[in-house]
Every structure is written in structure tokens, then in C-alpha cells.
Copies of this chain bind each other. A is one copy, B any other.
Amino acid sequence: MDTKIYTLAQKIDNDIKNNTLSEEEKDRLAKELKQLLPDDAIVLAQTNPTSGDIKGNAKKALKWIQWAQRLEVGAIVFPEMYLIGYPIGDFIDRFPLIVEENIEWLKALATKVEGKTKVVIGFVEFNKEKTGKNYYNSIAVLCNGKIERVIRKTLLPNYAEFNDYRHFEPSEIDSKNRITDINGQKAGIIVCEDGWNDFDFFEKNLYKNDPVKSVVEEQKPNYLINCSSSITRAKKEQLKHNMLGFAAKKYNTPIVYVNQTGSGECLSFEGASRVYNKKGELIARAKSYQEQFFIVSPSKGGEIIALPDGLEKTLNEQKAFTLDHEPDLERTYLTIVQSIRDYFQKTGFKRAVLGLSGGLDSTVSAVLLADALGAENVFGISMPSKITSSESKNDARELANNLGINFTEISIKDMFDSTRTKFDEVFSSIEKVWDGRYKESFTNDNIQARSRALILWGIANEFGSCLPIATSDKSELYMGYATINGDMSGGFAPLADVSKTKLFALARWLNKHRKVKNAIPESIIAKRPGAELAINPKTGKPLLAEEALMPYEFLDEVIWRVENLQQTIGDMMQAEFLHEKHMKEQNQPISQEQKLEWLQKFFRRMSTALYKWFIMPPSPIVDARSINKSEYRQPIISSKINYQKTSFEEKLEELK
């Protein structure tokens, strides 16, 4: 297609967002653009809806629709569930009014649909049959003031972050009803997961039927449209790309794929809507992590916009752990920045306050917050205790300067002292009647972490639109190495799905790729992580995290193997870890006893960390799998699970 189309379409994007054009300018732009468009042009409305804000979503849709109508394209296509906003959690079960309202808004929108442009848009429908769940996950085709047809989703995902089958009744495929005429061509409509069950592509399939096959074989459409709300995860893009291309080629039928963008609480959508031709080749792809009024021709294609690094990786790599996080850092950065921005915007907050310890977690958090909210909307507070080194304080200050965020320093020494005095008083009362007082406890460590959180939440109470930030990272959360009501407390936790080794890589990446280079002082990246909450009696210096836990290089591979390969102790004892390889190369081989001890420690600590996962604040899902409660829940009471296989003989022995 003519590249001028994309230049002109950008003006539409800009107008939709900022109302930049007068009616006259709009008409002139439309006229110019119309002449360039191919006969089968349609618009992919890559949009960012807000859960439950039906009025807002409808009003936004109208702007997009009106532009499509001005261009007289055959259709404008919105993502799955656009009108009600995705994700929905369980709110439609408790408030059927919301579904009633989304249907009324759909009808109201239909009155605005005129001319040759159809509107294809996701909404939620009632199931009025006597049997089945209360709702359908549906797509409406609006045409000439009316609802022309409604297509109901057949395959309802119900794993990880998906909860479709909790609320929706699966529909028969009804291939004939899925066909609508667009620009004189037959377009077949499928809904997200409907397109993910090819029996030749997947080794194992979740469902028994395949809507793509039925629609193509029974109706022979000119092309397929897939309306989706599909989140970004490490290495998912390549799977999606391979699968869509495979199906287009297999059926000799182009596939138009429309995906939501923006973030909803813990879920982030990357957009990157696209078109595959009937050879299975990618011929158009929209931007990632932003809304786009994207004009495509199902037969001729459109612009192909490059993906962020990390959206494109081979499928095979999924099976191997690597410490080279480089290829996924751009995607990680964009996912978290979008998540912060949308979480704040959709909940009505605009400013963030966080503790700056001079350590890696708070440092990277500060950079991401500054980029998401604007440096002026971030306040970094250095809150030294008597253990805090002057290096840490200087690092925090330097970072804030480099980022241009607001900064102040306040000692927590007095708060610590008055708390400790009270603790001594109350502990001495209690030990008169209760035994079991620890000789060494984490009490002092935690007073520091909790005093800091007390200050951050106090600031949020005192100043409008302000959220405190929890800075815990994924490696620490697995180990329970985070303080309840301390560093793991906040309104949002940007790093909860980023492991420590990846954080180091991300810090270097940020220094290299942000507009302001090297904002993160090298000394922060170079120092070994430690909470500076206690002194290690062996070294006389602040206790390092790896002394308390295990080498991060090893820990992060354990996490990866648990999440991606579902391995437990026995499997991992068989495998060679990168850390083992590296230490062998340095002539400091890890013994099998040491390895087993670390693995047992991992599962022991994980078992007692389940409670902390339960009360973690919202955080963006970034990795292929996570411990985010939007996708994974393990009962806190399951702490007695044995993650090490026992033999049949041992079992018989236990039953004697």
C-alpha cells in the first residue's frame, strides 16, 4: 500500500487523541486519504479500554468510528470485550446491570453507524436459555443503524490469567453466522482463543473443536478476522506469529488479527495487531504498547512496524534458561512503563512516592516511574538508619539528580529508637508468660523497613493523588525476602515479576537506551545486593542478600525451571545449572550436597512465602509465568507439600 497512507493516518491518531483538527480539516484529510485507499481497506481499532467504564469506552469508540466512516472503509474492527472493558474479574456476576448497560450502549452506538462502514466490536451478551452460564463473550457487527449479527465465542480459556469459562457459556461454532460482508468480500469472524486450537500446529490441544477449520471449510471466507485481548508475556509473540502464519497458510486464507493495547491492573496488552496473507506471510503490523488507528488491506497488506526487542524470539529458546536477558529488556521496560501509567491513570492517581535506598530495586523502580509518570510526579525519599552507609545515601541522591525526580532525605533513627523502646517494654511483659522468644530475630530489621513504609503511606495520606510504591523483586518474593508492611507494601509493585539477574541487565539497558544516558550510578549496579537492615556477624558488614539466600544466578534459574518446566527437586538435581557451569569454570565446583541444600531451601522458603504472595499489591505480569495472583494461586496452608519424590518403598514403609 501507499506509504503516504500511514503518514496521513498518523494525523487521525493525533486528532483522536488531542482533538487537533477542525471539521473542515478532517474532511480535507479524509478526502485526500480516501483516494489512496485500496478497495478492501478496513481499520483495525487498536484501542485501550477501561474495565467497566462503558460510557468512556463507548464515547472513545465513537470518535474512531466516525473517522472510519469519513474514510468510507468497509469496516472498523475493535478488540474482544472492548465495550465493557477487559479484564472484568467477576463484576458481571455480581452486577448484571453492567451487562445491561453495555448492551444499551451498543444499541446507542449502532444508531451512529451509517454508510458503507460496518463496526465489529466486542461486548458481553446475556444467555437467556434455561441452561448454561449467564453470559456470552460476543462480537457485534453493527451496520446501518442496526445490529446486523452477533458472533459468540466458542473456545473459552480458563487457565493462568484467563477466566472466560467462569462467566461465559461456550457457543456452538455456527460458521454461517460468523460470515459478514465487508467491501463485497466474505469476512469470517473468530474471537481470540477460537483461533488457538489448530490440531496440526499444537502437540496437545485444549478443546475438541476448531472454529477456524469449521469457518474456513464450511464457508470459504475471503479472509478471517480475529478480535482478541491477548496479554504480552516473555516469548509469547513468536508462538502467536508462528500459529497465525501457520493457519493462514494452511487454509490459504488471510488472517486479520486485532489486539487490545494498554494495561488492566496486572495484565498488559501489547497491541501489535497484524495481517497475514494467504501464504502465511506477515504483511502488516501495528505499533506496540499504544493505540493506533491502523489501516490495512486484507489482500494487499499495510505498514509493518517493528516490534520491541523481546517480542520476537524463537519457540525453541523457551526451553532453555539463559542469563542473557538482553533480548527481552525492551519489552520488559515497555510493559512495566505502560502498566504503571495505565494503573495510575485508570485509578485516578498521578504521583508516586518511593524510598530510595541506593539499592537496585528502588533504583530501577524510580527510573520506570519517572518514565511512566514524568519525573516531576515522582518523589524519592532517602530514609537512612544507623546501618545505612554513606555510599547508599550518596547513590540515592545522585540517582534522583540524574533522573530529575524530587528528592529529600529523612533519618528514621528517632522513629526506630522510640519504637524499639516500646518493643522492649512490651516484649518484657510478654516473655513473663510466653516462652519461645528468639535469641536472634528479624525484629530490628523489620522496624526499619516498616518505619519507611509508614512514612511513604503517611505522604500518600497527606498529599492528593499519590501512591507509595512497593519495590520487591521476583527473586526476593519467591524467597519471602521482603517485609510485610515494609518494602513489599505499596499501591503498586512494578518489579514483582522481574528477577534479580534480569534487574541488573535492565539497569544497564536503561543506562544505555534512555534519552538521558547513565542515569543510574555505576556504583549501584556494581554493588552486591543487600537490604542494609542487619549486620552479618561473620563479616562485620551489612548482610548481603546472597549470604542470606543463595547465589542469585542459581536462584533465578530455579525460579525459571519451576515456572517454565514445572520441575521439582529431583529434576533439578539431574540438570546442570548455569551457575554450576560458571563455578566449575572458575575451579570452584558446586557440590551435590550444596546444590541439594539450596534447592531444599528454595522450596522451604517458598512454602512460607505463600502468605506474602497473597497480600502482594497489584503488579505487572512480565514473564512467561509468574506468581501474580491474577494467574497463580497456591493455598497458604499447602506448606507441607513435599517437592521431592519419594520411592514406592518409602511410601510402603510410612504405611506400616
Chain A interface (Cβ < 8 Å from any Cβ of B): 50-56, 58-59, 62, 85, 87-91, 93-98, 100-101, 104-105, 107-109, 111-112, 130-133, 158-159, 165-166, 203-208, 264-265, 342-343, 346-348, 351, 376, 379, 381, 406, 408, 410, 412, 414-415, 417-419, 421-423, 425-427, 429-431, 433-434, 436-438, 441-443, 446-447, 450-451, 453-455, 457-459, 461-466, 484-485, 489, 491, 562-563, 566, 568, 570, 611, 614-618, 625, 629, 632-643, 645-646, 648, 651-652, 654-655
Contact A568 B463 (CB under 8 A): no
Chain B residues, Cβ within 8 Å of A646 = 55, 101, 104
Contact A458 B423 (CB under 8 A): yes
Residue of B nearest to A617 (CB): B615
Chain B residues, Cβ within 8 Å of A484 = 457, 489
Chain B residues, Cβ within 8 Å of A462 = 423, 427, 430, 437-438, 441, 443
Chain B residues, Cβ within 8 Å of A635 = 51-52, 87-89, 91, 264-265
Residue of B nearest to A59 (CB): B654
Contact A434 B562 (CB under 8 A): no
* 12 contacts across the A-B interface (CB closer than 8 A): A89-B632, A89-B638, A97-B645, A100-B645, A108-B654, A131-B207, A133-B206, A376-B433, A406-B433, A408-B429, A454-B454, A484-B489
Given A205-B131, A639-B348, A94-B566 contact (CB < 8 Å): yes
Contact A438 B454 (CB under 8 A): no
Kindly identify which residue among B426, B614, B655 contacts A410, using a CB–CB cutoff of 8 Å: B426
Chain B residues, Cβ within 8 Å of A614 = 617-618
A454 to B447, alpha carbons, bound, how many Å?
8
Given A58-B655, A634-B89, A425-B447 contact (CB < 8 Å): no
Q: Give the distance to chain B from A539, nearest Cβ to Cβ, in Å.
A: 23
Contact A655 B109 (CB under 8 A): yes
Given A414-B422, A415-B422, A454-B443 contact (CB < 8 Å): no
A611 to B461, alpha carbons, bound, how many Å?
15
A637 to B462, alpha carbons, bound, how many Å?
22
Contact A640 B423 (CB under 8 A): no
Kindly identify which residue among B410, B422, B566 contacts A95, using a CB–CB cutoff of 8 Å: B566
Chain B residues, Cβ within 8 Å of A447 = 454, 458
Contact B111 A641 (CB under 8 A): no
Chain B residues, Cβ within 8 Å of A109 = 655
Q: Give the distance to chain B from A642, nearest Cβ to Cβ, in Å.
A: 7
A563 to B91, alpha carbons, bound, how many Å?
11
Q: Give the distance to chain B from A100, nearest Cβ to Cβ, in Å.
A: 7
Q: Give the distance to chain B from A416, nearest Cβ to Cβ, in Å.
A: 9
